[in-house]
A and B are shown apart, each in its own frame.
Chain A
Amino acid sequence: MRLAPSGVVAPLMLLCALGCIETRPREVHVCAASSLAQAMPELLTRTHTGATTAFGASGALARQIRLGAPCDVFISADARWAASLAEDGLTRGASVHIATNVVVVATPRDAPRPAALSDLQAPRYAHIAVAAPEAPLGEATRAALDNAHLLSVLKPHFVLASDANTTRMWLARGEANAGFVYATDVAQEPAIERAFDVPPDLYEALHVTAVVLRNARPEAEAMLGVLASQEARSVLRAHAFQVDGLVE
């Protein structure tokens, strides 16, 4: 039985071939950490800036850039990835700290909320979602709990996720009673509620950092200015990023 007459196959193959042809984007291409996925489109609209965007884990994006991905501007969730690229001479000019992401303790919506880190010792918080120590979120969580002398007490209750996305997802599905996520995660996920901010003096701040890449088009530098502008900052603030205290 002929399922795919040549009249169907040939046009399909042509379509696939066309899809593979790369056209150089005529706008600045921004590769940004996933935590900016909802803020960026609004930011670009409010500042009347044209740019194409791609989102992903900061580490994955950085690796793609090393292997030649056509990014003009890289925005990482914390400073170390941008610093790593700068160290290897893959960037152009200084990096700009455009916002700070805050670690919060969150719970599934309508679940009992703790008021402080010490409350997490209560039996009702039998399962606490925490990201792996390799992820910036996980590193910050552990540092905070360690400095609060609660790490060894709470460790047996950790449900360990590989990354921030998984942590957030488990919390949203009620697989954990409480968890450590980004403030921006709470803003993006209706099924979870913020309980309280983890005191910032307990962990090293997570600086959302933007940097222009070495082979970027000339217009790329202007994007840094846009990201540091007042309009951009008000959008970022609305999406739960911290923008107070940043240099002008």
Chain B
Amino acid sequence: MRDRATRVDLHVDLPRVRIAFECDAPIIALRGPSGCGKTTILRGIAGIARAHGLIIIDGASMDLTLPPEARAIGYCPQDALLFPHLNVRENMAFGASSKVSIEEFVDTLALGSLLTRMPRSLSGGEQQRVALARALAREPRVLLLDEPFAAQHPEMRSQMIALIRRASQSRAVIMTSHDEANLKALDAFMVHVLHA
């Protein structure tokens, strides 16, 4: 039985946000009103916002002195933030570890026809899916998703839910979302972030 024990007690320095929770679930959802610091917490775990404290995910402790590139994380920001000078395939392959196959994500996320397109020609939803594939391609231990469903059509959502669930079998997923229904479908452990 995989050890899914997660314990987080994190102080992010700038902006100042504190969060503490414990659970045993593979998928954790941060809930809360806009501006309460959910994105900041994800950035703190990713290492792009300076933070101190304790992070144990799936039984393994995360060294908070490490820079983001040394952490086994994959971050999918709310605004996708695709590299504008690279096409879709190049974006997805950016963080991919050696010979990881991106074909799986391509099919599931319906990105096949977009591979040679440039990010600026994609819709918001398409960009979001490319960003998800890009993060997954890194084969991280922790997947951080900021509002992954925000720009998606309902048809796509069920595909994404299946993909995230499959991904959570071998890694932890910490995400934010306003969508109750999707989070319920994922059986996510809810953490409510209150504005301090």
Direct contact of A and B (CB under 8 A): no
Residue positions of B touching A, CB distance < 8 A? none
Residue positions of A touching B, CB distance < 8 A? none
